[in-house]
Amino acid sequence: TELVPREGYPIRTVHIAGFRRGLSPKMLVGNMKTAWLVIRSVGEAKRILREFRPDVAVGTGGYVCYPVLKAAADMGIPTAVHESNAIPGLTTRLLEGRVTRILVGFEESRAAYRHPERVEVTGTPVRAGFRHTEKERARRELGLPSGERIVLAVFGSLGAGNMNRLMGDVIRLMGNDAPFRLIYATGKRYYDEVQDMLTRSRLHSPMIDVREYIYDMPKVMSAADVIICRSGASTISELTYLGRPAVIVPSPNVVNDHQTKNARVLAEAGAAVMLPEEGLTGQRLYDELMELVRDPRRMGEMGEASARLGVQDAADRIASLVLGLAAGKE
């Protein structure tokens, strides 16, 4: 409600909440309220649709999309839902039998649907900055050496507590004679903690670049040889768009464990090493990184496997399909 108007687009809202998974009395009461909101929000959506009279309605899989796409389908308006995760979430499953088209990020996702004839593999769009950056140019613009091994570690804009501790162990194992350059975005919550650890450990290597946040992420990801990260849908699409090998530690704190399922697609294709966070140690993470950076051939093969999963023209595919629905060509 803040960002969309800032870009010059009007926005309307409906009253809706997500269902919570659990059987506690508090959750049961909350889900009863949500069920009422679903009924109410479909009516709200229909009033907006009658006023706006769209040619097509598009959703991106979050629970707020359900009442709008259900209302649109009930009113005979062509509909599409884009599911960027490898396995459909609850909203996409509920809409599967109603929408005109289901757009997915991976070919492997098609088998997860009861109506594969409605599924189109479009990929997931990446930010524009990724489309205009290649490795050597990115390194020149960032002032990074051409022949150096560069590892990027990032776990979301706020960071992650346990991963922060593991990365602290990795940095200590690297020492002042670091065998590769590490660019590590700690997240706002943990930056001071990491800086204190560096001071206490007397680590002052120019090869260890700790930042609170990375503002030029497309450029830094493009410059990296290996990326340590989570496996949210956007991150996966960026990795495969660039064709970068990755060490992926899926977040254990997401609904339906979808990050593990996303990461498994890359791991099974040979594009990533997947390490479950439970039981993971800094030593294990460091050893995996060292195996990769010492093996250029393996990194190259993983990068090629990653690129084969990527869809370079995802935005164009989605736009073309949506325009076709709006024009009645579907």
Q: How does pLDDT run across 38-64, given as a tens digit for each residue? A: 778 899 999 999 999 999 999 998 888
For the four alpha carbons of 240, 103, 68 and 251, in that order, the dihedral sign comes to negative
Record the tokens describing residue 202, joined without a space.
């007397």
Q: Which helix (H) or strand (E) holds 272?
A: strand 272-274
Check whether 288 has a pLDDT greater than 80: yes
pLDDT digits (tens, 9 = 90+) for 174-228: 988 889 999 999 988 888 888 888 888 888 888 999 999 998 999 999 999 999 9
Around Cβ 278, how many Cβ atoms within 10 Å?
7
Q: Which of 244, 245, 1, 248 is nearest to 133 (CA)?
A: 244
Question: What type of residue is 108?
Answer: E
Record the tokens describing residue 96, joined without a space.
């599967």
d(CA 67, CA 46): 9
Strands 79-83 and 272-274, bridge-based pairing: unpaired
**So what's the pLDDT on residue 202?**
85
**So what's the pLDDT on residue 90?**
86
Any idea which residue has 């590590």 for tokens? 184
Burial of 60 (0-12, 13-18, 19+ CB in 10 A): middle
Identify the DSSP state of 222.
H
